[in-house]
Amino acid sequence: MGARKQVDAPPAEFAEAVTQLRGARFRPEVFVEEMPAPQRIAPHAAAVSADVTIDGDDVATGRLVVLYDPAGNDAWQSTFRCVAYVRAAVEPEMVTDALLGGVGWTWLMEALADRGAEYLAPSGTVTRVVSESFGGMADDDATAEIEIRASWSPVPGPGGLVDVTKHAEAWGETLCTAAGLPPVPPGVVAMPTRRGQRGR
């Protein structure tokens, strides 16, 4: 039995990355919980989902997947890869702004830079969605959303270890920016979210 547990144990590098993911700190408006990770993309994966709630309303949602392939991946240029998704409601008139896509991508890049989360091979898309109602729903207001899908490879720090915490917190801040929350003032530390609870 002991031998089987040893065989099934995840690599130390991935186990440390999962610990860092669980230890990331997010703003109190962000509710984060673990979710099942995709099994076929990489030998090892961990994932979390998040909702941003303001005044009782969910205004943004997202998920972050951390992939690990000890053999490396040429496309990743690394053994680790972060895959992120962010969706947030925006004002319908914002969707007509041709710059919105570039702005949405900048939110993520700036969040990574602000946390010193170095990365390689970034890629992704920013999608703008408008929904209009007709017929029996014609009185409903038009709604609009922005969706950011991105992936990047964390750069290992001293000792060759990847600091997943910085990357997870950058994703969380991107969620908050997309939701329209103002930046946290410099020097102010966000309190960690209580995972698995809605009681805020």
How many angstroms separate the CA atoms of 63 and 51, rounded?
A: 9
In the prediction, which pLDDT does 90 show?
81
Q: What is the pLDDT of residue 185?
A: 56
- Cα(149)–Cα(126) distance, integer angstroms: 6
What is the mean pLDDT of each successive set of 10 residues along the chain, which is 200 residues long?
52 94 94 93 96 90 96 93 94 72 92 95 90 71 85 87 94 94 62 41
What are the residue boundaries of the structural domains of the chain, listed by start?
12-179
pLDDT at 89: 86
Among 3, 13, 12, smallest CA distance to 162 is for 13
Cα–Cα distance for residue pair 161/107, rounded to 1 Å:
26
**pLDDT (0 to 100) of residue 166:** 96
- In this predicted structure, what is the pLDDT of residue 184? 64
Question: Which pLDDT score is estimated for 16?
Answer: 94
Please report, for residues 26, 135, 195, 199, the alpha-carbon distance to residue 109 in angstroms, rounded to integers and kept in the order given.
Answer: 18, 41, 26, 32
C-alpha angle with apex 14: 8 to 19, nearest 5 degrees? 105
197/151 Cα distance (integer angstroms):
28
